[in-house]
A and B are shown apart, each in its own frame.
Chain A
Amino acid sequence: GENVEQHPSTLSVQEGDSAVIKCTYSDSASNYFPWYKQELGKGPQLIIDIRSNVGEKKDQRIAVTLNKTAKHFSLHITETQPEDSAVYFCAASPKTGGYQKVTFGIGTKLQVIP
């Protein structure tokens, strides 16, 4: 089955700096890679995703890159703000039938220091 490794597990940055979270996956059948942000006491919310036919995707201060050959994908947050503090999960999904299978990384706790 799929295995997703995520690092670092914790990350502290000064407000205004950039943050990078890296993930690797094992199953070459995975073709969809969502990133979720989970704030304290809330459910995970999708912040950005990327499909395997695209190498990079950007949405304002957030970008995701994908290297299919190396099976790496990364989340980049620029100009970090205190409200970016949360736990971030990367995930990998294969094309399946019947339901959407997803494997999560262990999560990265991001702290943005004002």
Chain B
Amino acid sequence: DTEVTQTPKHLVMGMTNKKSLKCEQHMGHRAMYWYKQKAKKPPELMFVYSYEKLSINESVPSRFSPECPNSSLLNLHLHALQPEDSALYLCASSQIPVLRGFGNTIYFGEGSWLTVV
């Protein structure tokens, strides 16, 4: 079982709605991620938070707004989405890699299925 918990599992929203996706981890990881996954594709990185600060934004449209209230929680606020934003949104976490060390495992949640109508 994954130790990264995401809610809701399914979300249907209209193009004018505002909704949020939530993620929680209790593994003590200080890096947290949002990925987007379309059908039959690998996960695609959207945002990275390191020590609760946004460190990577992969040119994501402003209708997606991430937030990291504390070291265990990660939110993704959604507003004025388009039908093409329908996808599986994955939250993930990892330890911060040690410089000159080996890479660390990224642990994924089960995802939130988003449908924009």
Contacts and interface: CB of A to CB of B under 8 A. Distances in A.
Contact of B104 (A32, A41, A105): A32
Interface stretch (A44-52, A55-63, A65-73): A44-52
B55 A99 contact: yes
Interface in B54-110: 55-56, 88, 90, 94-110
A40 to B, nearest CB: 11
A107 B94 CA distance: 22
A51 B97 CA distance: 14
B48 A44 contact: no
Given A43-B110, A45-B2, A93-B103, A100 B42 contact: no
B115 interface: no
Interface string B39-53: 011110000101000
Given A95-B102, A99-B31, A45 B42 contact: no
Contacts of B111: 42-43
Classify chain B's interface size: 20 to 34
Nearest to A92: B103
Contact of A32 (B41, B103, B110): B103
Contacts of A107: 40-42
Interface in A78-100: 89, 93-100
Given A100-B104, A104-B42, A43 B97 contact: no
Interface of B: 2, 4, 6, 31, 33, 40-43, 48, 50, 55-56, 88, 90, 94-111, 113
Given A95-B100, A97-B99, A99-B48, 19 more contacts: A31-B102, A32-B102, A34-B105, A42-B110, A44-B108, A45-B108, A51-B102, A51-B103, A95-B102, A96-B97, A99-B31, A99-B50, A99-B94, A100-B95, A100-B103, A100-B104, A100-B105, A105-B42, A107-B41
